[in-house]
Amino acid sequence: MNPKSILEGRPALARCVMEVAEVAGYLWQKGWAERNGGNITVNISEYVDEDIRQKKAIAPARPIGLKLEALRGQYFYCKGTGKRMRDLARNPMGNGSVIRVLEDGESYEIIADEAVMPTSELPSHLLVHNWFLESGSPYRVSLHTHPIELVAMSHHKPFLQKDVLSQLLWSMIPETKAFCPRGLGVVPYQLPGSNLLAQATLEELGDYDVVLWEKHGVFAVDKDILNAFDQIDVLTKSAQIYIAARNMGYEPEGMSQAQMQEMSQAFNLPK
């Protein structure tokens, strides 16, 4: 670690950033993070002390492109734009940075460790973080990645109808509903990094913790980065089981409605 790193002498913040690095390694190993694919942002304001508040910007302030009132004075760890998850796994502060949202709620500045520009999906991520704070949600992380099987399934229109994929994936193995209880929302194709994509994602997050971006990837939210990763991981496991069955030449039966209901009751899950 760089001796002047913001993580130095701040074990809770360092642990949080190291969890991001751990997940970045998983994304690469799973083949979900080719080149600079995917991005991660974490609201780290709970770890911010007076010394961090006093830190000067290390790059000129830049517009977010949106006005986000609830984010005034909030701090985020963001993966850097154009940076690789596999590099971030080894060196999170060389491939990501800490930003502060300014009091105008519409611009931000980088404060540590290096002037690494934040993710191209910053508008989607910050819009979602703004909504967490406005709505009193305990969620603090957003994770975007390109899981192969889920993206492949998003190329088939019948799967994009409301809750078709949630039901299909939940029915492949009981754990999927247990660990992704709100299912998989769907956002029709929009330009990556656009405000339209951000808005459409936010609308789906009212009902789902994981949203499938048609022909692109998934966007997941949760309290911490490991939980966000796990939700995508269980959905992907189900997608792999479905595809394995189809490759053996049959449509998998799936758990029955009665089995799903029994499981939902036993695990105290929503219907």
CB-wise, 177 or 216, nearer to ligand 2HA? 216
Q: Is 121 among the residues known to form the active site?
A: yes
Judged by beta carbon, residue 7 or residue 232, the one nearer Zn ion is 232
Shortest separation between residue 60's beta carbon and ligand 2HA, angstroms: 22
| Partner from Zn ion, ligand 2HA, none contacting 39, C-beta within 5 to 8 A by type | ligand 2HA
With CB under 5 to 8 Å by kind, the binding choice for 31 among ligand 2HA, Zn ion, none is: none
Binding of Zn ion by 92 (CB under 5 A): no
Q: Which does 222 bind (CB under 5 to 8 A by kind): ligand 2HA, Zn ion, none?
A: none
Shortest CB 69 distance to ligand 2HA, Å: 26
Q: How far is the CB of 147 from ligand 2HA (least distance, A)?
A: 12
Dist. CA 177–CA 223, nearest whole Å: 18
Residues 6+ away with beta carbon under 8 Å from 162: 186
- Under the rule (CB under 6 A), what is the footprint of ligand 2HA? 36-39, 119-121, 144, 192
Near Zn ion by CB under 5 A, which window of 4-12, 111-119, 203-211, 213-221?
213-221
State the minimum distance, in angstroms, from the CB of residue 80 to ligand 2HA.
9
CA distance 39 to 84: 9
Identify which of residues 95 and 231 has a Cβ nearer to ligand 2HA in the complex. Answer: 95
Give the CB-nearest residue to ligand 2HA.
192
**With respect to ligand 2HA, which residue has the nearer C-beta, 78 or 101?**
78
Nearer to ligand 2HA, 9 or 188 (CB): 188
- Interface residue with Zn ion among 217, 218, 232, 233 (CB under 5 A) is 217
CA distance 227 to 154: 23
Q: What is the residue-wise DSSP string for 118-158?
A: B-TTHHHHHHHHHHHHHHT----EEEEE--HHHHHHTTSGG
Cα separation, 112 vs 98, whole angstroms: 5
- Half-sphere exposure of residue 136: CA atoms within 13 angstroms, side-chain side: 0
Catalytic choice (69, 121, 251, 262):
121
Q: Which residues are catalytic?
A: 121
